Each structure stands twice: as structure tokens, then as C-alpha cells.
Structure 1
Amino acid sequence: MQVTETLNEGLKRAYSITVPAADLDTKVNEKLVEAQPEIEMKGFRKGKVPMALLKKQFGQRLLGEAMQETIDGAMSKHFEESGDRPAMQPEVKMTNEDWKEGDDVEVSLSYEALPTIPEVDFSPVSIEKLVVKPADADIQDALDNLAKSAQNFDAKDGKSEDGDQVVIDFLGKVDGEAFEGGAAEDYPLVLGSNSFIPGFEEQLVGAAAGDAVEVNVKFPDEYGAEHLAGKDAVFECTVKEVKAPATAELNDELAQQFGAESLDALKEQIVDRLGQEYAGAARAVLKRGLLDQLDDLVSFELPPMLVSAEAGQIAHQLWHEENPEVQGHDHPEIEPTEEHTKLAERRVRLGLLLAELGQKNEIEVSDSEMTQAIMNQARQYPGQEREFFEFIQKNAQAQQQLRAPLFEDKVVDYILELATVTEKEVTKDELQAAVEALEDE
């Protein structure tokens, strides 16, 4: 086999590979000899089929296998000897398209090699870690919000207002006939909640206890029950009670509604939750600051195809964010801009750097870390956790999507251990401003 370099320009590589026909013939014969003892054919005992007949019967298929194995072996040997690592899937083409059995096989191999990542001294890196301690006011705000969400209502005199709860009996009719599911007694309806069909709740604003109100509405054209869709309806309503929203008292009873044993225990939960939220936001700010410094600290040649693919992905993602009404991908081709390419270069540069650091320092994501990540993700699909687990187990790409950010965070932690990190205590508003600054960039 002959391998000839045809291109070595920057990170671009190309080679011409020639596989002699005699080598292929030898490989086919080796495969036939290996398989012969197990082959049965009419008129011959097992293992006694003549080689010439075997070659006639199976030669073409084995020739294809031999070609593929030989080319794959040549590629593996080339990468092992050269030390090159392709940035993307190498392109392999058979160049003698008029090939016929008995001819040498000529193949072209081209790819972009990953660059050599320079050694980096992280000791000059100095980064500030923002620290926020939950303030009493923040804890009180969280308690007040929980009290409001408890949705208590107290009876009131007078007419109902938007946001009040009315307790009603109602009977719905279409064309003068009552319909199934259109009646209820003592139904608590919060006005303005939009829990009933459009136009219903507004007609009960201004009603008082004891009032009889005739509500005229039209079912939406896309209503779930086909026999009601688009139909005009009349609901005969009797208002039995009007209640105004009341903030629940901050006490042990309220705490128990949210799964805590007491109000003090609920406060502790809030402190823990706020602490985790602040720590997560501060981590995002810290990580961005570190990556900004690394981007300025390192410089090396980038594989053009890798940058182009990343720029295209960025442009496509941003286009869909700006056009959320388009769900599929049947849209015009999206051309990356200079800004997209610049962002792609940063991502590729940092991605290659972090990958190299992780590999050199044997940083890995453990099975237990992956399991925890899967469990955290599965909680977003209540009732379907098992199906989610099975999907992840069978989908290598989904596993990689979960593994990649875990690996990146572990490499970031490794760098932070080598850098100078100082803590700075700030307020919640200052942290929020820092997070918003990230989003504006």
C-alpha cells in the first residue's frame, strides 16, 4: 500500500492512498480460507467446497469488505504514525471511478487536523468571585410571595371585582338545551384567572351575592368538544358568595402547606434555596470572567471547517430565537455573519483548550455524576422519569449533551485551583446587574 501526501497547508491535510489489487486478492483469499471450514454447499461436504467455487460465490462481497478494511486500516495507521487528530470526520473518496476487479484501488483522504494546544500558565489569571448572603428582606419577600400564592379568600360585602372569587351555581345551554358538563354547584371561580372560556368571567364582575346573572358567550372554534366548538351558549349563573383575596398569615400552618414542619423550618429552606440561586448566578459570572481571560491568554490556529460549522449552528439558533413561530427547519438558508464567525472562533478556541486540559489531566465525568445529572433532568418530566432514563440510555448523543457541560465545569474548577480567586461580597441587586451584563454581551 502506498500513501502519498498531496496537501499540507496550515491544518489542512490530503493524501492519496493506493491499494494494490494483489493485496486485495490476498485479503479476500485469507477471508475465504478462514470461512471455508464452516461453509456448506450442495454437492459438497461441510468444509470441502473448492476455493475457486467459494471465490465465485462470495468473492465480490468479500472484495468490498477487504477494500473497506484495508482503507480503514490505512487511515488508522496514518493517524497513529502522524499523531494527527481530525477536527471533523475525514473525507474519503475513491478517485478511479472506472475501477474494475483486478485494478488497484486509488483513494483520496482529506481532513483538517486539530491544532497543537500550547501550554498555558494559569498563575497570572486573577478572578473575582461574587458572594451574596440572603438578606432578611429577601427572606421576607420570599415568605410574602408564598403567602400570596396560597390564594386565600375572605367573604366580603358588595360587588365583585377583578381578582375576587365568586362562588356560583351555573347551568349552560346551547340552543335552549342543557349540555353535558355545562353545570356545577358551589363552583369557586377567580375572576380574571381565565380558567373559563373567553368572555365568561368578565360578565360576573360587578355581581353581588344573591344576583342571578345570564352570561352569553361563544365557544372557541378550536374548542376540544366538537359538538360545542363555535356555538353560542347561555349560562344561567347564581352568585352565592363574593370573596376578596386575602394574604395568608405567616405561621406554621402556612409552612405546612409548602411541606415544612414549621415557619422556622420554611425560613431555613428559603435561605438554602436563595443561597443556591445566588451561588448559581455568581458561578455563571465567575465562569464568564474566567473564559474571557482565557480567550485573551491563548492563541492558536483554528480548523476553518470547525469554525464554519459552529458559526452556522450559532446563526441557525439565533434565527430561531428571533423567529419563534417557525418550529421546523423548512426555512431559507441562514448565512452566518461576521459576528457569528467571531463568536464561533471564541467557542472553538475555548472548547479545544478545555478539551485538551481535561484529557492531559485525566479529568473525567464519573458514572455517579452522570446519574445525578440524569436524575436532575428527569425531574423536569414528572410522571415520565422512567421513559426519560430509557431514552438517555439508548441515545449516545443525548448522553454527550449531558456529559459535555459536566466535563467543562470540572475543567473550569481545575483552572480555578491554579488561578488567583478572591471573594467579593455584594448585594443581590449587584449580582443581578452582573448577570444582566452577561446577557447583554
Structure 2
Amino acid sequence: MKAELIKKEGSKVTLKITVDNNKFEEAVTKAYNKTKGKYNIQGFRKGKAPKVVIETQYGKGVFYNDAIEILFPEVYPEAIKELNIDPIDRPDLDVEEISKDNGLVMVVNVEVKPEFELGAYKGIEISKVDNTVTEEEVKFSLEEMVNKNARLVSVEDRAIENGDTAVIDFEGFENGVAFEGGKGENYSLAIGSNTFIPGFEEQLVGKKAGEEVEVNVTFPEEYHAENLAGKPVVFNVKVNDVKVKELPALDDEFAKDASEFDTLAELRADVRAKLEEEAKNASEATMRNTLVEKVAANTEVDVPEAMVQHQIDNMLMELNYQLQYQGLNLQQLLQMTGRSIEELRNERKEDAAKLVKSSLVLEAIADAEKVEATDADVEAELEKMSAMYNMEVEKLKASLRETDVEDIKGQVKIRKTIDLLLENATIA
């Protein structure tokens, strides 16, 4: 195999790969053995016709495409390694020649990572982010714990107020006809939570247990069920019960019941310590992100469109994973918001381009500073991951593919590069 760089314009590269005729003929034979069962040749059982007979009937090049499909995945990686090319997209292949003298000659066009000159990345000035935890934040966190441990208790002879929980039976009708999904029994609805159709909860305020009410609402125009979107409907509602939150006292007994501590003072100290750790991590993350943004801004990079589109793919994949935790998917989100997938992609294009540029700049700095992810670094990262997933390290290692390990190395390398930038930054 011979590889030759023909042309490079920006991030577009053209290379020529030549495979000698003997190697190509070996691939043709492999293609024949792989595909001969597809050909029906008179006088031969299916799959038993000799190669030369099939070539005579269907043409000399009948197996060429299959042979190239066999050869290309073998010779292409060798060629880009030899020419020190780092592709970012699928190659576009043209066959220039197939002959006994020159073998198989392929011209490949592919997009690669752009070359650029790094701007200043040391001595960058950033502001220190305050990570002080106030007493109000501690108080708010404790109040959240109290609310999570609240009990709902029924109240008698009192009308529903905002903040109460109404236990209701309901059935919805559109033009007098009950619609699918519009019925429920003993449903606990927090008034003021805005979990139902706009206007529904407000019409229950002032009603008492045992009362029935006709609720008139209109579904939003962007409602996910197209047959109901924008339609006025009527719900027949019966109030079965009215409940209010009964909050526990914030004292030592609460600390014992709701935590591992015996006193409120110990619980308060633990809450503060956790908030301070969170604040410290958040401030460090903000400073690191700000630093990367400033460093990236100092470098001019022609960001390839292919890399931006790949980044958008990853962003939408992550969004879909997040939606699945809420019982939704990307298609449902599009229906609910009335957007197309193209609009969603365009909305994320600017952020995707920034992320790609930052990644390219950090990789270039890592190369310039000879930052590497050592075996010890990777081992430490695997230890953290095993603790996070509550899995033995050896089992975690066994579950990882080679590409997963390379991804981990890449993440460690980038993190060490940002550490280097932070060490050399001026923090005001």
C-alpha cells in the first residue's frame, strides 16, 4: 500500500491510496467467495459457479465494489496514520484506476481537524468566584428538609386554599364527548403547582370536600395531543378530600428522625459543610469555564461544520437521555413545543460551535505542553467511577471497550490541561 497527500485546503484534504494488483486480486477472490451465492448461472448449482464464469457473464468488474469494501477499512487507517491525518468525518472515495500495472488507485477526500496558531493561554486574568455560604442558605436547606418530611392531613369543613392538596375525581369532555386520558379517581392535586391545564386549579379554590364543580378550561395550542390542542373542554370534578401540609418541628427530634444525627446542631453543621463543598465546586467550575472561554477567544479557529454537527448530535442525544428520566422523548418534546428537529438543531448550533472550538484549543495546548494521561491517572479515574457506580474496579474495567478507555484518557488529559491553565492564570 502506498499513501500520498495530494492537496490540503483548510480542513479539506485529498489523498491517494494505491494498492498493488496482487493484493487487490486477493480482495477480489474474497469478494467472490463472499457473494458467489447471489448469482444464478445456468449449468451450475447456486454458489458453485467459478469466478471466471461469473465475470464472463456479468463483466470483469462484477466483484470490484465488494473487493474495495473489503480492502478500504484495512488500508485507509494505515494511510491516515502514515500521512499523520486526523479525520473528523467519513471519507468520500473515488476510484481513479484499476489495472494490472498500477493495481487499485483510490482518491480520498476527507475533512480533518483544522490547523491554527495558538493565542495567549498563560497569565490569563479571571475573577475569583465567591463561595461563601450564608446563614439564609443553611436555613433554606433545612426548611426544604422539613417540607420533604411533611405529612398531608385532612381538614374538615374548610374550603380549598392555594397550597392545599385536593383529592379529586374528574372526567373531561370535549363537545360533550369524553376524551381519552381525561379521567382520574382520587387524584391528589397540589393547588398552585400548575401541573394541570392553566385555569384548572384556580377553579377549585373555595370548594369543600363533597362538592362537585364544572371546570371550564382550554388546552394550550402547543398541547402534545393534536386532537385537543387549543380546544375548550369541560371537566366534571368531585372534591373527595382537602389536605394540608403538617410540618414537623425543626428540633433535635427532627434531626434524629430525618438524619443520622442526634441533635439539630449537628444536622445544621452537616448541612453547612455540604453547602460549602457544593459552593466550592460550583465556584471552581465557573472559574474553569470562564478561563477556557477566555483562552479560546484568544485563538482564531476555522471550526469545521462537520464537527459542529457531530457536537449537536451529542447534545440532542444527551437531551433525549434526560427526557427519558421524565418519561418523555425527543419526538414528544418537539410535538409539545411545536418545533421541528431542524429548529432544535439550529438553536444549539452556536453553543456547539463554541464547545468544538474550546475542545480544539485545549487539545492544541495539551500537545504544546506535552500533557498526557498516565496509567496512574486512568487508574485513579476508574477508582472514582467504580465508587460512583458502586461497582468493583475490575468489573468496571471488564465492561469497558477500548474506545471507552480512550475517551477516559481524553477527558483526563483535558482536565489536566485546564489545571495547567489555572495554575498559570492570574486570579484577581
> Fold match, TM over 0.5?
yes
Give the superposition deviation at 1:95.
Answer: 4.2
Local SS of the residue matching 1:129: coil
Contact in 1 for aligned 2:16/2:105 (Cα 8 Å): yes
Q: Deviations over 1:377-418 (max 9, x none)?
A: x69xxxxx9xxx99x95888888888876654343223212x
Matched, 1:213 2:218: no
Local SS of the residue matching 1:326: helix
Match of 1:416 among 415, 422, 428: 422
The residue aligned with 1:40 is none
Give the superposition deviation at 1:290.
Answer: 0.4
Equivalenced residue count is 360
Q: Judging changes above 3 Å, is the alpha-carbon distance between structure 1 residues 272 and 148 closer, same or farther for their aligned structure 2 residues?
A: same
Matched, 1:260 2:260: yes
The residue aligned with 1:354 is 362
Local SS of the residue matching 1:257: helix
Matched, 1:282 2:283: yes
Q: Judging changes above 3 Å, is the alpha-carbon distance between structure 1 residues 29 and 272 closer, same or farther for their aligned structure 2 residues?
A: same
The one-letter code of the counterpart of 1:10 is G
The residue aligned with 1:249 is 249
Local SS of the residue matching 1:286: helix
Matched, 1:366 2:365: no
RMSD of equivalent CA atoms = 5.9
Local SS of the residue matching 2:137: helix
| Aligned-partner Cα distance in 1 for 2:379–2:364 | 21
The residue aligned with 2:110 is 111
The residue aligned with 2:24 is 24
The one-letter code of the counterpart of 1:415 is L
Q: Deviations over 1:341-369 (max 9, x none)?
A: 76555433321222344463112662553
Give the superposition deviation at 1:109.
Answer: 1.0
Q: Judging changes above 3 Å, is the alpha-carbon distance between structure 1 residues 162 and 63 closer, same or farther for their aligned structure 2 residues?
A: same
The one-letter code of the counterpart of 1:213 is G
Contact in 2 for aligned 1:215/1:234 (Cα 8 Å): yes
| Aligned-partner Cα distance in 1 for 2:379–2:121 | 29
Gap runs ≥5 in structure 1 = 33-52, 173-180, 219-229, 380-384, 425-441
Matched, 1:291 2:301: no
Q: Deviations over 1:203-254 (max 9, x none)?
A: 69565xxxx8354679xxxxxxxxxxx99989696x8xx8764543211221
Contact in 2 for aligned 1:302/1:348 (Cα 8 Å): no
Q: Judging changes above 3 Å, is the alpha-carbon distance between structure 1 residues 234 and 89 closer, same or farther for their aligned structure 2 residues?
A: closer
| Aligned-partner Cα distance in 2 for 1:166–1:9 | 66
Q: Judging changes above 3 Å, is the alpha-carbon distance between structure 1 residues 55 and 293 closer, same or farther for their aligned structure 2 residues?
A: same
Give the superposition deviation at 1:74.
Answer: 4.4
Contact in 2 for aligned 1:27/1:66 (Cα 8 Å): yes
Give the superposition deviation at 1:294.
Answer: 0.7
Local SS of the residue matching 2:106: strand
Larger mean Cα displacement after TM superposition, 289-298 or 324-333: 324-333
| Aligned-partner Cα distance in 1 for 2:206–2:344 | 53
Q: Deviations over 1:80-107 (max 9, x none)?
A: 33322223333223345xx799994332
Give the superposition deviation at 1:150.
Answer: 3.1
Q: Judging changes above 3 Å, is the alpha-carbon distance between structure 1 residues 256 and 92 closer, same or farther for their aligned structure 2 residues?
A: farther
Q: Judging changes above 3 Å, is the alpha-carbon distance between structure 1 residues 308 and 70 closer, same or farther for their aligned structure 2 residues?
A: same
The one-letter code of the counterpart of 2:355 is R
| Aligned-partner Cα distance in 1 for 2:425–2:22 | 63
| Aligned-partner Cα distance in 1 for 2:99–2:207 | 90
| Aligned-partner Cα distance in 1 for 2:267–2:23 | 76
Q: Judging changes above 3 Å, is the alpha-carbon distance between structure 1 residues 252 and 287 closer, same or farther for their aligned structure 2 residues?
A: same
Local SS of the residue matching 1:107: strand
Contact in 1 for aligned 2:161/2:205 (Cα 8 Å): no
Report the TM-score, using the length of structure 2 for normalisation. 0.58
Contact in 2 for aligned 1:112/1:303 (Cα 8 Å): no
Contact in 1 for aligned 2:151/2:245 (Cα 8 Å): yes
The residue aligned with 1:147 is 146
Contact in 1 for aligned 2:162/2:192 (Cα 8 Å): yes
The residue aligned with 2:87 is 86
Give the superposition deviation at 1:302.
Answer: 3.4
- Pairs within 5 Å for 1:25-44: 25=25
Give the superposition deviation at 1:258.
Answer: 2.5
- Pairs within 5 Å for 1:375-390: 376=388
Local SS of the residue matching 1:146: helix
The residue aligned with 1:15 is 15
Local SS of the residue matching 2:145: helix
Identity of aligned residues (%): 16
| Aligned-partner Cα distance in 1 for 2:306–2:163 | 58
Q: Judging changes above 3 Å, is the alpha-carbon distance between structure 1 residues 217 and 158 closer, same or farther for their aligned structure 2 residues?
A: closer
The residue aligned with 1:326 is 335
Contact in 2 for aligned 1:315/1:335 (Cα 8 Å): no
Give the superposition deviation at 1:6.
Answer: 3.9
Local SS of the residue matching 2:89: coil
Q: Judging changes above 3 Å, is the alpha-carbon distance between structure 1 residues 107 and 362 closer, same or farther for their aligned structure 2 residues?
A: same
Contact in 2 for aligned 1:15/1:109 (Cα 8 Å): yes
Contact in 1 for aligned 2:147/2:247 (Cα 8 Å): yes
| Aligned-partner Cα distance in 2 for 1:353–1:412 | 11
Q: Judging changes above 3 Å, is the alpha-carbon distance between structure 1 residues 199 and 351 closer, same or farther for their aligned structure 2 residues?
A: closer
Contact in 2 for aligned 1:311/1:340 (Cα 8 Å): no
The one-letter code of the counterpart of 1:147 is V
Q: Deviations over 1:261-286 (max 9, x none)?
A: 23123212311331233223313321
| Aligned-partner Cα distance in 2 for 1:152–1:285 | 38
Give the superposition deviation at 1:110.
Answer: 1.4
Contact in 2 for aligned 1:162/1:192 (Cα 8 Å): no
